[in-house]
Amino acid sequence: MKESVQCGKLSIVSTPIGNLQDITLRALEIIKDADIIAAEDTRRSQRLLSHFEIKKRLVSCHAFNEHHSVSKILNFVHEGQKVAVLSDAGTPVIADPGFHIIREARKSGIEPEIIPGVSALTFAVAASGLPADKFSFYGFAPVKSGKRENLLIKIKEEGKTAFLFESPYRIEKLLKAINSVMGDDAKIAIIREATKIHEETITGTVSEILANYADKRWKGELVVGVFPL
């Protein structure tokens, strides 16, 4: 194992998923103390900083440039700078950029500081009311029907609660696929717009939700929990 080099600091910081008051005191201290903010979305991070009246240098680090920006960010740290990495919202790495920079940082002798906080996933696990002593998370549900069906078959065979991210434009297709693979009585929780003004949690069997919300115009960010019976 490499010894940690004497340099700056790399912090991986969780940020609010909706309500800005959900940021932790520790996260605010880290951001205020940072020399540079590496952001998945600089515009969204700027809104967060402006809300708390913080002025910092922002650099971009999103999924499309992560491999190219990592070297630059680690160079900042090696030069003695304090860098805070922020995702769009929630905790970096969890269905967001961050894995690559953490891996490369350790290779170069930098031990990242992880600042925990809110996550759409952990919010959904708590809000769902589904068994969560053990569960699976699969990120966004596959767009193609065949891959989506194969994933649902896997979830059914595992026999434990699973959580998926889904687009409001595809939620009905996902629910119908769950109904087809797992049957009418599969337990479902849909968590929409967590921590935001229009926050909503819908629970029931998949057949009940398909019947009761057939005309619903789904909007916002969705997390779907499913427990196969």
Q: What is the pLDDT of residues 139-160, one digit of tens each?
A: 999 999 999 999 999 999 999 9
Query: Are 131 and 110 in the same domain?
Result: no
Give the structural domain span for 32.
Answer: 9-115
The answer to whether position 1 is within a domain reads: no
**pLDDT, tens only, 192-215:** 999 999 999 999 999 999 999 999
Is-contact 127 201, C-beta < 8 A?
yes
Chain centroid offset of residue 5 CA = 30
User: Is residue 153 assigned to a domain?
Assistant: yes
Number of domains within the chain: 2
Whether 38 is covered by a domain: the verdict is: yes
Q: Which domain-ending residue is among 96, 115, 134?
A: 115
Do 105 and 183 reside in the same domain of the chain?
no
pLDDT tens digits, residue range 67-110? 678 889 999 999 999 999 998 889 988 877 788 899 999 999 99
CB-CB contact of 160 with 134 (8 Å): yes
Does 199 reside within a domain? yes
27 part of a folded domain? yes
Residue 2 resides in a domain: no
> What is the value of pTM for the model shown?
0.88
Q: Residue 172 carries which side chain, given as an amino acid letter?
A: E
Rounded alpha-carbon distances, angstroms, from residue 224 to 32, 73, 121, 125, 193: 35, 35, 10, 10, 12
Task: Report the b/e string of 127-144 with b at 16+ CB within 10 A.
Answer: bbebebeebebeeebbee
Same domain, 58 and 137: no
Q: Same domain, yes or no, for 153 and 189?
A: yes
Please check whether residues 24 and 76 belong to one and the same domain. yes
Do 44 and 138 belong together in one domain?
no
Residues 139 and 167 grouped into a single domain: yes
Q: State whether 168 and 84 are in the same domain.
A: no
Residue 74 maps to a domain: yes
Instruction: Determine the pLDDT at residue 164.
Output: 97
Q: Which of 58, 89, 115 is the last residue of a domain?
A: 115
Q: Which of 70, 97, 115 is the last residue in one of the domains? A: 115
In a domain, 14, yes or no: yes
Residues 102 and 159 in one domain: no
Cβ atoms of 224 and 125 closer than 8 Å? no
- Name the more confident of 22 and 60: 22
Residue 38: give its domain's CATH number: 3.40.1010.10
Q: How many residues does the chain have?
A: 229
Do 138 and 196 belong together in one domain?
yes
Same domain, 63 and 130: no
Kindly state whether residues 100 and 129 are assigned to the same domain: no
CATH code of the domain containing 207: 3.30.950.10
